[in-house]
Structure 1
Amino acid sequence: KMRTKEFFGKFCSKFLIWNLVAMALVVILLVVGVNYGLDWYTHHGESIRVPNIEGVRIAKAREMMDELGLEIVVTDSGYNKRLPADCVLSQNPGPGLTVKSGHTIYVTINSSNSPSVAIPDVVDNCSYREAEAKLISLGFKVLPPQYVTGEKDWVYGVLSNGRRVSAGERVSIEQPLTLQIGSGQYGADEELNLIGGDDATMQSGNGEVDDFEEVKE
């Protein structure tokens, strides 16, 4: 006959083995479940090629992204007068790259209004070439200069649509500018001042004209 001690020993041994087997199965099921869950959550193995939406109006671009399961977010705006307003100027990620479903595409759209820029301090502060270079670098179109009396090529004013503008005033970059520069010629008053300055050298310290004695041989 089997003793009680032997019976419980065999029972516990079998019970322990089945417990270990059951635990192993649970661990395997958990690993498989987590793996499939991550694949489903991250869309593992699923890739979507990002379409080119540059130049496309934002409303149409949203429709295209919705059909592909992608999100679109506007992060900035720019200005290009050759393109219609509200169209996409740039996108990130770029066209042709592959992303997963639900990925967000960040875009910059074209503004309907041209930006305005502050006029730099160029009046009576720099030459024509320097002022022209500064304005062009800011995006302005500079028309041929308007000549005024004064020092040659020195800037005396900035005109926008015939109106004089001051430093710091904001002007649309679509509005051409005209620089008023010196022609190198002076007005009658300035010429008289120059002549008066020469005559002054002929006067004595008390402001009277010196008397000259004619020398005869």
Structure 2
Amino acid sequence: MVTFKEFFSFKNNRFFWLNLIAMVVVIVAAAWGTLQWLDSYTRHGEAVVVPDVKGMNLRTAENELGKQSLKSIVIDSSYVKGIAPGAILEQNPSGGSKVKSGRTVYLTVNADSAPKVAIPDIMDNSSLRQAEAKLRALGFKVTEPEYISGEKDWVYSIKYRGRDLKAGEKIPYEAVLTLMVGNGNETMPEDSTLVDESGTVSDDKPMIDESWF
């Protein structure tokens, strides 16, 4: 039986050295295993370059990202005139960035058609300057106004492709609109009549005394 004194004899006690060696082996093995797990978990050394997919159609962009073991999700759409529907407008992370394999790239695509915007309530409710400012702020294009009889620079209606629009009606963004504006001349109807001081209604032709003829 090993005595307490013999167990703690550093020079001659083989149990001490065996335990010490075993502890060192366990610590080294645990450290190595932890490093291996961290390396696998964080995919250390597996960074990939994100391809630039802006301008590509969605399917092509997904294929290019997939070649780099990257995922993709469409998170938004916008409309840019002159760019093919479904083309990639923006991506995050951007092309050329280095990311971990398996990272998700978020995409914004071009919409199939221009979004529709509601016409504001400006008919018979705004001046020319106010109406033009409101319409342009919403993305509409405004042509030279057409003038009609009425209060000067007062907007009476809005035309789109030859028809009158109503407040709240939705039409495509960037549509070309024409404002019908008063020219300041409020003319009387041709069939108007005159009323004399006695209240008698007469037509607008002057009375001629025929006794002189």
TM range (shorter): 0.7 to 0.9
Identity %, equivalent residues: 42
Partner of 1:118: 118
Partner of 1:210: none
- Structure 2 Cα separation of the partners of residues 77 and 128 of structure 1: 34
Partner of 1:185: 185
Deviation at 1:153, TM superposition (A): 1.2
Deviations 1:1-57 (CA, angstroms, capped at 9, x unpaired): xxx454983399543542343233222212222212222222213322222111110
Distance 1:147 1:27, change over 3 A: same
Normalising by structure 2, we get a TM-score of 0.80
| Runs (5+) with no aligned partner, structure 1 | 208-217
Q: Is the partner of 2:40 in helix, strand or coil?
A: helix
Q: Once superposed, which parts of structure 1, at least 4 consecutive aligned residues long, lie more than 6 Å away?
A: none
Q: How many residues align?
A: 196
Q: Is the partner of 2:94 in helix, strand or coil?
A: coil
Partner of 2:83: 83
Matched-pair contact (CA < 8 Å) for 2:79–2:110? yes
Matched-pair contact (CA < 8 Å) for 1:50–1:97? yes
Partner of 2:63: 63
Deviation at 1:146, TM superposition (A): 1.6
Deviation at 1:174, TM superposition (A): 4.5
Q: Is the partner of 1:152 in helix, strand or coil?
A: coil
Q: CA RMSD in A?
A: 2.9
The letter for the 1-side match of 2:7 is: K
Partner of 2:109: 109
The letter for the 2-side match of 1:10 is: F
Normalising by structure 1, we get a TM-score of 0.79
Q: Is the partner of 1:86 in helix, strand or coil?
A: coil
Deviation at 1:168, TM superposition (A): 1.3
1:62-211 counterparts in 2 under 5 A?
62-189=62-189
Deviations 1:138-170 (CA, angstroms, capped at 9, x unpaired): 111112212111111111111111111111111
The letter for the 1-side match of 2:113 is: N
Matched-pair contact (CA < 8 Å) for 1:161–1:175? no
* Higher share of residues assigned helix: 1
Deviation at 1:81, TM superposition (A): 1.8
Partner of 1:27: 27
Partner of 1:212: none
Q: Is the partner of 1:156 in helix, strand or coil?
A: strand
- Structure 2 Cα separation of the partners of residues 20 and 93 of structure 1: 51
- Structure 2 Cα separation of the partners of residues 157 and 27 of structure 1: 85
152-161 vs 57-66, which deviates more?
152-161
